[in-house]
Amino acid sequence: MTSWEYATLEISAVQLSSDGLDPAASSHETAEWQAYAIGPKDELLFEEYRPYSVPWTRLFAEHLNRLGRDGWELVEFGGPHHALYPTGYVHSSGTYTTVVESRFVLRRPA
């Protein structure tokens, strides 16, 4: 029987908006992707920021391939996918932060 160690891959897009809490008013010019993976001992395997203009599927494929070269395989979808959530925190400039996030569970033999 194989024992496994697990990790998570998360891809989030942080967007700023100045037009109330309407997600459709979010500014893509100021948004960026944040991709990171957390290993089995809660260590940060990597973290990267990319412009929001980069397609989500490209980030997903690049990072899944990167983790695959280290022996990780995708096990399951582990969280919200393309859901827009206002954080409820309004900055003094009148902007607020929203996040689009996708989370995945990975494993490899221990």
How far apart, in Å, are the Cα atoms of 60 and each of 4, 22, 68, 86, 91? Answer: 22, 27, 12, 23, 30
pTM for this predicted structure = 0.70
Q: How many helices (H) and strands (E) does the chain have?
A: 1, 6
pLDDT band at 5 (very low <50, low <70, confident <90, very high): very high
Cβ pair 87, 101 in contact under 8 A: no
- Give the tens place of pLDDT for each residue, 43-89: 999 999 998 788 888 988 999 999 999 999 999 887 655 444 444 45
Joined together, the tokens standing for residue 15 give: 């967007």
- Give the tens place of pLDDT for each residue, 91-109: 555 555 555 678 889 999 9
